[in-house]
Amino acid sequence: MIKISQLDKSFKNKGSRQEVLKQIDLDFQPGQIIGLVAPNGTGKSTLINLIMGYLRPTAGTIEIDGARYKNEGQRVKIHHKIVTLPDQFDLEPALSGLDHLKLYTGAYGHDKDRVTKIIDQLNMSGYVKKAVSSYSLGMRQRLVFAMVLAADADYLMLDEVMNGLDLNNVELLSDILRALRDSGKTLIIASHILANLQSIADRIIFLHHGKVVLDSIQQQDEQLFVKADLTDTELAKLPDVLSHHAINSVGYRRLFPVSTQGYDYVIREIKKISPAEISFGTRNLEDYYWKFFGQEQSAV
């Protein structure tokens, strides 16, 4: 288990200190995919770097299976249990993908025979022996993900793991991530691809202004809404009992709590003033993103 207690992180900035994370209390259990959501520059990568021991907390503690980054011996012990997605810029252009995978497997003390399975699993056999300098963005992304698989660690820190991938490879990696979760591994995924994150994560955490503003288990019972895209002018034409309870979401999407009035009544009133497509359900991640960050920037 990863246990984070009263975690603060700040950086010096022109004579003052900029707080990036404030009073973070979280724990991550085995067999979970945790989605981490926040706008760029608001603490996602900092949190991952702290968990990896690349940064030191300003205050608070991080424990991984009861161990802390107290000394080099503890650091080595922890880093055999945890792996982060390498940056594509860290790849050696002159080496092949196969070279990288063998190096990673050796560094984590695993049998190099597992490399063949990973290559087949990610459909890399057609290019894995070529120099990385010849790879496309998507090929490089599959390689860095393959390096994570080669480590076979208990805890996976994945920052924008779907970056540069086409839809087929997004689905391929999603299936692999679910299988890793089902095998008991813990995956923390920072991503802006909200639809994909919603489809694979068991738990979603939103960071805003350095604090946790949402920590939600997926698939739990939630408030139901009628959803429709309505302009401000159209919204104003609805009865006050609806317009005053409408919740703004992405773009012109409006959410109407069904508890306010009956489902049929809400649909009927919307159809009187707009031909908008109407849907029914709980809030999705885009809706939550808009709730917390919509006034600062739109979801990507």
- Helix residue ranges, H only, 237-282: 240-243, 263-273
Q: Give residue 218's pLDDT band: very low, low, confident or very high (50, 70, 90).
A: low
Give the predicted TM-score (pTM) of the model.
Answer: 0.80
Encoded tokens for 214? 């949402």
pLDDT for the residue 255 = 84
Distance of CA 296 to the CA centre of its chain: 19
Q: Residue 296: is its pLDDT beyond 70?
A: no
Distance from C-alpha of 60 to C-alpha of 57, rounded to nearest angstrom: 6
What pLDDT is recorded for position 136? 94
Amino acid identity, residue 210?
A: G
Q: Average pLDDT of 85-94? A: 93
The per-residue DSSP string of 192-249 comes to: S-HHHHHHH-SEEEEEETTEEEEEEETT-----EEEEE--HHHHHTS-HHHHTT-EE-
Provide mean pLDDT across the span 225-254: 84
Compare 271 and 5 and report the one with higher pLDDT.
5
Amino acid identity for residue 42 in this structure: T
Q: What is the mean pLDDT of residues 185-197?
A: 92
